[in-house]
Structure 1
Amino acid sequence: LFAAHVHFAFYDCIDGGWNHGRQGGLTGDGCRYRIMPSTSFTRPGFSHLFTAPAPPERGRNDTARLGFYLCRVLEDRIDVHLIRTCGETEETLRPGFQRLLTPVPHGSGNHKTIGGTSSSGALVGGDQGAATMPADATTPNALSGSRQGLPRGVGVPAAWERLLGVSLAHPLAPVAEVPVAYPSVIRQPVRNDYPLLSCLELGVGQVRAPGSDLRGGDQRRRLQLLRREGVRLQIGELWTDATSLCRQIDDHSGEVDRWEIQIPGSSRPSEECLAWLAGESRPAVSLCAVVPGETVTGKQHPRTRIGYRVEELPELDALLVSHGAQVDSVLCRLDSSPGSLTSVLELRRRPQLDAVHRVDFLFQLPGQDDAGNVAAAAEALLAAALVKGSKLFVEPFLDLDRTLDIGHGMLDTLCNPRPVFHLLRTLNALLSRGIPRFDFDVVEETLDGFRVLRLGAEEVFVALLFPSSEGAPLPRNLVDSVGGSGAFRLCELCDGTVSTVLRGDDLDAVRIHGPAFLQSVVQH
């Protein structure tokens, strides 16, 4: 159901069957309810909801929110895509480029079929849609080949096993009171649904949130709405004892897809924790180290490290094996130094893991330089794609100010997307699709001022391009080195646009404005 108009976007579910009891959750099909913002932009009063000044021109020039919704009516659901225009018109778009329509999450319980019956299957479906673009189904996801250094039993990912996740440092749905609201003598409580709506637009497959979010009614329900849309929920709890954890798990049965057990002060679980992990009756679990006192270059005081280092995983795996314990996943940091790709390649050189079924990755955007964040995030997501089944949790989702730790997020303080948001949205769609037979190695080279990461495959050529300057021409040496038809599809990741490039084209006229994804066209 779409309704209008206000000067703010809202999202809810009508008759969602919310149970406020001990095992609260959303039941039934319900009806998704979207309140649409006016095309006259954000009303200034609502800026009180954000930790930021009013938008430009007191909200009248908030062009980042301009766009339209595209509803794709499928056999068993309706997918809703936000197409941002940012005030562009047909005259201002670059000729020869098409927009990439990226998939949105969907679960089996959140949509009704056209006939009105509920769709079947589990809460979170395995097939999460596909990127709609002038491209074939050979877009890469992960690399096959040797699995040395990777968990045993890692299977081929589902047709749409989404790589991207986010870590929620801020609440998913902040609530504030807007002063002097209608009828001008009250404070009106207003909920900010832009982070939730942005998760759907981004196409995330999973979110991490602290356990405290389940103990508050507002955040608990919003998380369940997100989960009902097909986004897996990973809830973190610091380990204290088995009794407390089991009580928490029991209180929120059916609301969480994976519990993240955070080991305080050490990378080694305690004996009691190991005994609990070895038990037969427990939910899906991920382990995460929380180690204080880490020295960080450029910081005056030590910091707390969240997540394992690559070199700590073999010792953890051996400890789990010796206690007869297994875990569904562990969280490993991909720090900007020595680089995400270097860390993943180091993981693959190490011995196989026996008690860890999957390695997921945590990645923090490096700072306030949007261009640097874009490049680092592209490398991190590509690196995560090299490990089958792995997920990449990116943080911060919103701009974060912790005095000496100030960083830009995927959204700014007005909850408008930064360039890294669109890069992750686009690259997640391209890397999360089913793949052909890829070689194991990634070839890194420099061509005409571009940093190039090649992914070799039997049927398709794929490369991630990082230009040294904005507007650099596509390297002809790269195009000429690829056999086949000589036709390529070029995706500008921050713009979310796709164009066709032929070997005989004037490549000097093909300008790359940021990280780009180049894929050969397979002729059948």
Structure 2
Amino acid sequence: MLRFDRSLLPAAQLEFVVIADTHYMIDPGDAPLEFESRRHQSERGRTAWQMVAALEPVFVVHLGDLVQEFPGRPGFERAQQEALEQIDAAGLRQLCRFVAGNHDVGDKPDPTMPTEDVTTAGLADWQRTFGPSWSSWNVGGLHFVILNSQILNTGLAAEAEQRSWFETDLAANDDPVVLFLHLPPFLDHGGEAALGHYDNIAEPARSWLLERVRLHDVYTVFAAHVHFRFLHSLGAGRRYWLSPSTSFTRPGYGHLFTSAAAPERGRDDADKIGFLLCRLVDGRLDVHLVRSHGIDLDRGSIQLTPTPVTATGRLGVSSAHVLAPHTQIPIAYPSAVRQPVRNDYPLLGLLELGCERVRVPAADLLDPVQAERLDLLREEGVRVQVTALGEAAARACLPQLHDDDLLELQLPGRLLPEMEAVRELAADGRQIVLCPILPGQSVPGKQHPRTRIGYLTGELASLSELLSDPGISLTPAVRLDGDAPWSAVQALGTADNARDIILLLELPGVDDARNAVAAAFGVVAAAALDATPLLEPLVDLDRTMDVSNGLLDGLCNPRPAFHVARHLAACLAGHPCTPSLKTRSAARIVDLGWGRHLVIVTAPQPLRRLGVVDPTRVLRLVDGVWSGVGTDLDRDAVVDPTWGPLLLTSESDVR
């Protein structure tokens, strides 16, 4: 039976789940379908509901679109009943609160919408099954509110009733408010067009709603409908989350990405489906994505990892791409206008990683879109390391830096900085990172010499005097070979003046298995040196002189290295790490101390022959699933290289 492992997370005062757009579909049998993925929607929903049940939340909010059919269509009532039976089978019906979506009660009032508007009769049908379409309740010191976004701007009597009720409810409440909707108030910005836009609330209801959010202590808003994730700041620490679907992705939003379309013209980007686990931790609402595609419900324990603000590990990322690319979705069904939109998946990936640091060029501080995203990351606990090429550029960006930002002074063509400039840059106690940019480096297999970024371990001696100056906080950025980091770890571990370092780890190429191992070795090396590793690239570099798979692919879905870094960094946090490498005929084993071993097998090997004494649990780092030896996994099980890097422990618990 599937379980979840929370041992790496801080204690929570409340946990609840937000799930959306399950789109239950009656079994079509052999009937032809426009999209074959529709045959999987109901089973994907079943998997998600079983996972929700395994989390044992206090309550569940379904953000709407319970079924695929629209009201009034043949099979609508049957689909709705079967969808509820699916929830009953998971034992969750009594915990669920339902938000009305367009597939539940009808579309917003817009003459370009593909289905009928909401009607009084349709609302009455909904209420007979689910109760009132707006409601509120209190638990854990929070006030939760559900609104029916589908009736906004309709002029129906229900709209006026809901508006009056909401304003009265807010006025009578003193607790922070969490608001649930189906339709997003906006996708890109509060002033975007609405007529012909399938995915937002039109005026005047939008302004009325957002004004209520600003005037009252509504500090988190959840919406759905788009089947893609977005995250907005509403100011004063308020967050506005758009939730994923458990069933499919909307095709048009594939234009967010530079890669080829996902299967079925973007409709079946299955790696994006899932739901949200929300945890109230010391007055803060931490939101965790729980991915639901490809999950084995019969065995194992899925490890949950901390968000950046609660993470104690040290994991960073260098972002070669802008963190928030902006585009417009072309005019295409079901919208009649272009839809301006921002790709939030790189940023959301950093939060899922539990990233402690992100490295970006100083130019991003002057770009309003990127600067706003960096502000959000800072609020979420991510430290920003700003790179400036040369002393003049470093001086110029000082006014844009926040107090906790690191400034990376990049040295064009040289190893040493101008000392007068360094003292000026560090005058306020700011930590300065030094990083050379050196062209003309020979690389096997490359016609032209390449540019090397970062110091080699043998070059740190030239910094000895600088690093020993007690009046300046300097940190060298050192390149790390992810394939073979151990000599560098040994050299850096014995260098008295290089204790505080940053490790630059570039994933070695387009082989995901090799990159996953490099990420694991890099995280271990950083833990051994108590250093911060900066992994790169964040997103695939697939059309440059030197191609490399990223932590995220071109669709911004995690590659194996992403999950390996995420889970291993979280597991190593707070523990001393003294790695010792042992190479066997078909395995590389790194003894990490305290009963832990990192294992990479190169050919199938029985678990009992790996040379690890009495392992009790095995963590597949590529998917974060713990297996108990003797329960989930037989002691004679054969470990296959396709499992990727493994963490073996002789402890019964992670901590």
For normalisation by structure 1, the TM-score amounts to: 0.77
In structure 2, what residue type is equivalent to 1:466?
A: I
1:342-362 superposed Cα distances (whole Å, 9 cap, x missing partner): 21112224x410xx5611100
Structure 2 residue 328 is the aligned partner of structure 1 residue 177: yes
Q: Which amino acid aligns with 1:309?
A: L
Assess if the C-alpha contact under 8 Å between 1:341 and 1:380 holds in 2: no
CA distance in 2, matches of 1:73, 1:294: 50
Q: Which residue of 1 aligns with 2:218?
A: none
Structure 2 residue 276 is the aligned partner of structure 1 residue 69: yes
What's the RMSD between the two structures over aligned residues? 2.5
Give the letter for the 1:347 counterpart.
Answer: L
Equivalent position amino acid for 1:352 in 2: D
Q: Say whether 1:346 aligns with 2:468.
A: no
Alignment of 1:353-368 (within 5 A): 353=497, 358-368=500-510
Query: Secondary structure in 1 aligned to 2:225?
Result: strand
Is 1:227 matched with 2:378?
A: yes
Q: Is residue 488 of structure 1 aligned with residue 628 of structure 2?
A: no
Change (3 A) 1:281 1:464: same
How does 1:374-453 map onto structure 2 within 5 Å?
A: 374-388=516-530, 390-432=531-573, 434-435=574-575, 440=578, 442-447=579-584, 449-453=586-590
CA distance in 2, matches of 1:2, 1:275: 47
Distance in 2 separating the partners of 1:491 and 1:37: 26
- Which shows bigger deviation, 421-430 or 395-404? 395-404
Q: Note the C-alpha offset of 1:188.
A: 2.4
Deviation at 1:296, TM superposition (A): 1.3
* The one of 42, 46, 49 aligned to 2:256: 49
- Write the distance in 2 (CA, Å) between the matches of 1:209 and 1:473: 44
The answer to whether structure 1 residue 309 and structure 2 residue 456 are counterparts is yes
Residue 335 of structure 1 corresponds to which residue in structure 2?
A: 481
Deviations 1:15-63 (A, max 9, x none): x1xxxxxxxxxxx3x3211012334422222222211222101223211
| Equivalent AA in structure 2 for residue 238 of structure 1 | L
| Alignment CA distance shift 1:498-1:387 (3 Å) | same
Identity %: 44
Measure the CA separation in 2 of the matches of 1:12 and 1:63: 23
Which residue pairs with 1:34 in the alignment?
241
SS of 1:478's equivalent in the other structure is coil
Q: Does residue 6 in structure 1 map to residue 226 in structure 2?
A: yes
Please list the CA deviations of residues 462-504 of structure 1 after superposition, one character each: whole Å capped at 9, or x if unmatched: 11000113x532143624xx4xxx452211110211122269x
How many residue pairs match? The answer is 431
The 1:297–1:475 alpha-carbon spacing in structure 2 relative to 1, beyond 3 Å, is farther
Rate the CA distance shift 1:88–1:301 in 2: closer, same or farther, 3 A. same
Give the deviation of 1:305 after TM superposition.
0.8
Can you give the 5+ residue segments of structure 2 that lack an aligned partner in the other structure? Answer: 1-220
Task: Report the Cα distance in structure 2 between the residues aligned to 1:506 and 1:250, rounded to whole angstroms.
Answer: 59
Q: Distance in 2 between matches of 1:405 and 1:247?
A: 31
1:269 equivalent to 2:417? Answer yes
Aligned counterparts of 1:209 and 1:369: Cα–Cα separation in 2: 25
SS of match in other structure, 1:73: strand
In the alignment, the residues of structure 1 paired with residue 344 and residue 610 of structure 2 have an alpha-carbon distance, to the nearest angstrom, of 47
Contact 1:263 1:289 in 2 (8 A): yes
SS for the counterpart of 1:37 is: coil
Among candidates 123, 146, 168, match of residue 319 of structure 2: 168
Task: State how far apart, in whole Å, the 1-side matches of 2:523 and 2:281 are.
Answer: 29
SS in 1 for 2:243: strand
| 54 and 183 in structure 1: CA distance in 2 versus 1, 3 angstrom threshold | closer
Larger radius of gyration: 2
1:372 aligned counterpart, secondary structure = helix
Per-residue Cα deviation, 1:173-208 (whole angstroms, up to 9, x for no partner) = 100122215896643221001111111111111000
CA contact (8 A) 2:618 2:647 kept: yes
Matched residue, 1:143: none
SS in 1 for 2:348: helix
Tell me, yes or no, if the aligned pair for 2:365 and 2:400 is still in contact at 8 Å: no
CA distance in 2, matches of 1:183, 1:380: 46
> Which letter maps to 1:12?
H
Residues 300-341 of structure 1 deviation map (CA, whole Å, 9 limit, x = unaligned): 1111111111111121122454x775334211000246x222
Cα distance, 1:450 vs structure 2: 1.4
Q: What does 1:130-209 align with in structure 2 at a 5 Å threshold?
A: 160=312, 162-180=313-331, 186-209=337-360
Which deviations, in whole Å up to 9, do the C-alpha atoms of 1:390-435 show, x marking residues without a partner? 1000000000034331111011111111111111111111112x22
Which is further off, 216-225 or 179-188? Answer: 179-188
Q: Distance in 2 between matches of 1:85 and 1:40?
A: 10
What CA deviation, in whole Å up to 9, does each residue of 1:449-471 have, x standing for no partner? Answer: 21111123xxx3111000113x5
Structure 2 residue 301 is matched with structure 1 residue 98: yes
Q: Which has the higher helix share?
A: 2
Unmatched 5+ residue regions in structure 1?
A: 17-27, 107-127, 130-159
- 8 Å CA contact 1:181–1:188 kept in 2: the answer is no
Taking a change above 3 Å as real, the CA distance of residues 261 and 38 of structure 1, as seen in their structure-2 partners, is same
Which protein, 1 or 2, shows the higher relative CO under an 8 Å CA cutoff with sep ≥ 6? 1
Residue equivalent to 1:21: none
Structure 2 equivalent of residue 248 of structure 1 = 397
Show CA shifts across 1:60-79 (max 9, x none).
32110111211122232222
Distance in 2, Cα, partners of 1:258 & 1:473:
47
Q: What does residue 361 of structure 2 align with?
A: 210
CA contact (8 A) 1:173 1:219 kept: yes
Q: What is the alpha-carbon distance in structure 1 between the residues aligned to residue 326 and residue 474 of structure 2?
A: 34
Question: For residues 454 and 40 of structure 1, do their structure 2 counterparts lie closer, same or farther at Cα, with a shift above 3 Å needed?
Answer: closer
Kindly state the Cα deviation for residue 238 of structure 1 after the two structures are TM-superposed: 1.2
Q: Secondary structure at the match of 1:517?
A: strand
In structure 2, what is the Cα distance between the partners aligned to 1:66 and 1:46?
A: 14
Change (3 A) 1:518 1:89: closer
Asked whether 1:371 is paired with 2:501, we answer: no
* Local SS of the residue matching 1:386: helix
